[in-house]
Amino acid sequence: MQVVTEFPFAIVEEEDVGIVMPDGCRLSARIWRAEGAGPVPAILEYIPYRKRDGTLARDERMHPYFAGHGYAAVRVDMRGNGDSEGIMTDEYTPQELQDACDVIAWLAEQPWCSGAVGMMGKSWGGFNCLQTAALQPPALKAVVSVCSTTDRFGDDIHFKGGCLLNENLGWGAVMLSYSSRPADPVLRPDWREDWLARLEADAFLSPRWAAHQARDAYWKHGSVGQDYGALKAKVLSFGGWADGYKNTVAHLVENVPGTKGIVGPWVHQYPHQAVPGPAIGFLQVALRWWDRWLKGIENGAEDDPAYRVWMMDSEPPNAAPTHRAGVWVAEAAFPPPRGQALEFTLTKGGGLAEHPGRSEAALGVNVCTKQHLGLSAGEYFPMGLNAEMPGDQRADDALSVCFDGDILAEPLALLGAARLRLRLSSDKPLAFIVARLCDVGPDGASTRIAHGMLNLCHRNGPDAPEQLVPGQEVSAEVVLDQMAYRVAAGHHLRLALSTSYWPFLWPSPEIATLTLAEGQLQLPLHPGAGADEWQPPAAEAAREWRHKKHGEGRAARRVEQDQITGEISLVVTDDSGLVENLTHGLMTADRLAERWTIHPDDPTRARGYCEWEQWLSRGDWAVRTLVSAEMYADGPDLVMRAHLRAFEGEAVVFSRDFQETVPRRFI
């Protein structure tokens, strides 16, 4: 990445600007402004991840870059987080979004602001900039949303296809831990009183989320896909094929006129910093967007291709690739005008037969898979190179029911979402099916191209699920994630089906056998591209933050099997190491430990455990918080427990236990 140190404008920075909400709650903002530029547009990033330490490393490489090009870059800690006052009760609440609107109004009124505001963010910030735009605050003219969703129920970290994601537990532990940290005493003399109030209000949210097992009003709130027409601000959306949020860019380009979308091979990071490569000049692309819609510069951004994606080439499976081979493909719209459907039929012999519009009657194939299938799935949203991306699928394929296509004589390019239509029956009232589309090389190595899953209680839609009637045949469609992939000649496609996917999904309460009566697979065929159809700028950023490491971080990811009990566990650990901020002296560290355990023949023995520890210190001041969370099944219920402890020095200043049961109505 090219480090930029000279900008058109000098930069003025304010590290703690108070923005007072109508109810008197003071939000803390860090602001970088272009000196001598006159009134300039403001660019807001508004998240709960602590500007003082949590996102500081990326903030200092990004926001000064925008300020140096003639903007005011504003990074605000949400209510109840970092150095802001107040309490946070959940994600994407009406209070959070109203605060965003009030911050935007405040920015527009400042003498250094031109009155035009943009909003940006990744993940939480990518979500809430879209959600805020849907509320149409007058000053908000454009957004840049990275790694976000349009559907909080169907395509977020809680449920997918109506199936309960184990990330629901993991994310609840993360939020409990992140929200437990105090403000910096240098900025908040009342830090201790505020910290104790924050701890008292801290919520373990995993049970709340898991209890909403349909797309009800809880999930519809904040899901911009409920009314795309409400998005009037100009939207630029980014995604990554290695991220969990693969579908958002296509949904926005298809449904919101004027939206531009870019999807690379990336994990859950900003595209100028993300792996696998190639990284791109995200900051320059975003700046082009801001210049067009916040400054009114006629730079042609509105005429750029609507959908630009990195079409990946066949490569051996790798859970931690630094680079993915491929080519940039540019389309004027989504669905791609150059696309067409390619139809296959599932056959009794385990094949994919190219017979458009035909089905094989009485397929008669049973799907009932071992509970530990899925250990090669990877994380829902990988963050880096700690083997978090999907690895070789051969072990999972061997446990699945597979349908293989013919060896390809020519490369096969795919762009869009595959659809699997099935007629099936189940011997249990609760069951799900997972479909993985894989690229199988001549040596048998299996690379996952895309996957999709469907809780069969949601076969008629997510708004009003209903349990299956054992033995009764039903129709179901599994929509796999969006993809852009070119399968090499000499390889073949594989469709792998399973009724388990651990630890990506929580298992069904009983082992279910699905009987497939018929099935058709529709693939989104594309001509591909012989050369790049878009040339993105090279990655740039401002200089790194001033810091010192007092020890290297350590991470591990391993599978363990208990030879006595037969249980199999995925174990994940990550220790950041102690880091000192050389500008203001704050020292920080965190540690993660997870264990996901199941027995191959018994879903009732599934258990998830997550532990987070956070350290903050400066001189004689030191605080620490420790969070543990676990989940297991108890008859017809899920049991979720958590424990929160906070330390000042070595003394325990707060301790609380959480326990809730969630009835399994549809999961």
pLDDT digits (tens, 9 = 90+) for 220-254: 999 999 999 999 999 999 999 999 999 999 999 99
What pLDDT does residue 545 have? 95
- The tally of domains found in the chain comes to 3
Instruction: Report if residue 205 sits inside a domain.
Output: no
Angle formed at CA 541 by CA 310 and CA 40, multiple of 5 degrees? 105
Instruction: Report if residue 131 sits inside a domain.
Output: yes
Is there a single domain that holds both residue 262 and residue 295?
Answer: yes
Q: How many CA atoms does the CB half-sphere of 228 hold within 13 Å? A: 16
Percent over 70 (pLDDT), the chain: 99
Is there a single domain that holds both residue 359 and residue 489?
Answer: yes
Residue 325 has pLDDT above 70, yes or no: yes
Is there a single domain that holds both residue 126 and residue 261?
Answer: yes
Is there a single domain that holds both residue 486 and residue 575?
Answer: no
Is there a single domain that holds both residue 346 and residue 457?
Answer: yes
Residue 360 has pLDDT above 70, yes or no: no
What pLDDT does residue 148 have? 98
129, 144 in Cβ contact below 8 A?
yes
Instruction: Report if residue 34 sits inside a domain.
Output: yes
What pLDDT does residue 362 have? 73
Which residues constitute the domain of residue 577?
543-663
Residue 663 has pLDDT above 80, yes or no: yes
pLDDT in tens, 435-447: 999 999 999 999 9
* Domain-terminating residue out of 267, 292, 309: 309
Is there a single domain that holds both residue 132 and residue 270?
Answer: yes
Residue 400 phi/psi, 5° resolution?
A: -100, 170
Start-to-end C-alpha separation, the chain: 45
Give the three-class secondary structure for 297: coil
Is there a single domain that holds both residue 348 and residue 495?
Answer: yes
* Domain-terminating residue out of 288, 309, 330: 309
CATH number at residue 482: 2.60.120.260
Instruction: Report if residue 411 sits inside a domain.
Output: yes
Is there a single domain that holds both residue 419 and residue 344?
Answer: yes
Instruction: Report if residue 535 sits inside a domain.
Output: no
Instruction: Report if residue 180 sits inside a domain.
Output: no
What pLDDT does residue 145 have? 98
Is there a single domain that holds both residue 11 and residue 106?
Answer: yes
Is there a single domain that holds both residue 30 and residue 157?
Answer: yes
Is there a single domain that holds both residue 388 and residue 517?
Answer: yes
Mean pLDDT of 351-361: 70
Instruction: Report if residue 321 sits inside a domain.
Output: no
pLDDT in tens, 31-83: 999 999 999 999 999 999 999 999 999 999 999 999 999 999 999 999 999 99
C-alpha separations of 62 from 34, 385, 389, 557 in Å: 14, 22, 26, 31
Element (H, E) at 327: strand 326-331
* Domain-terminating residue out of 289, 309, 329: 309
pLDDT in tens, 448-489: 999 999 999 999 999 999 999 999 999 999 999 999 999 999
pLDDT in tens, 276-317: 999 999 999 999 999 999 999 999 999 999 999 999 999 999
Does the predicted TM-score (pTM) go above 0.75? yes
C-alpha separations of 644 from 33, 99, 586, 654, 657 in Å: 39, 28, 23, 8, 6
Instruction: Report if residue 399 sits inside a domain.
Output: yes
Is there a single domain that holds both residue 379 and residue 411?
Answer: yes
- From CA 289, how far away is CA 464, in angstroms rounded? 40
Percent over 90 (pLDDT), the chain: 98
